[in-house]
Amino acid sequence: DAGVTQSPTHLIKTRGQHVTLRCSPISGHKSVSWYQQVLGQGPQFIFQYYEKEERGRGNFPDRFSARQFPNYSSELNVNALLLGDSALYLCASSLDVTGYSPLHFGNGTRLTVT
């Protein structure tokens, strides 16, 4: 079975631009979460979606938004990019949103803002 897939793998953007990152969950998984991992640090929670509804939001500005589609894939959008948005963006999927359902991560999208 395919794991969590993220696209693109790498991305270079300029300050002020907008970016869209995409994630396809493992087949059968209905929850998708997004994490930001700045170089040298642990990942930080951005969003969680389940059955197309937002179920949690981390401490990120409104420039960050996301949505989940009927096929459970997801997009993370970031507007008005700042240099500090440069990071590895990880997507994770799980069967549901209980603690019995572990998160499975993709390989991430490396975003560089210049």
Stretch that binds another protein, among 12-20, 21-29, 44-52, 65-73 (CB under 8 A): 44-52
With CB under 8 A as the contact rule, the residue among 44, 65, 73, 86 that binds another protein is 44
Q: Is 57 exposed, middle or buried, given 0-12, 13-18 or 19+ CB atoms closer than 10 A? A: middle
Q: What is the helix (H) or strand (E) element at residue 13, kind and residue range?
A: strand 10-13
Amino acid occupying residue 10: H
Among 8, 16, 56, 61, indicate the residue that binds another protein (CB under 8 A). 56
CA–CA separation, 112 and 114 (whole Å): 6
Asked if residue 63 binds another protein (CB under 8 A), the reply is: no
Indicate the residue among 75 and 95 with the shorter CB distance to another protein. Answer: 95
Q: Which is nearer to another protein, 42 or 80 (CB)?
A: 42
User: Which amino acid, one-letter code, is at 25?
Assistant: P
List 24's β-bridge partners, or say none.
Answer: 5
Site for another protein in 72-111 (CB under 8 A): 88, 90, 92, 97-99, 102-108, 110
Q: Which positions lie near another protein, rule CB under 8 A?
A: 33, 35, 41-45, 48, 50, 55-56, 58, 88, 90, 92, 97-99, 102-108, 110
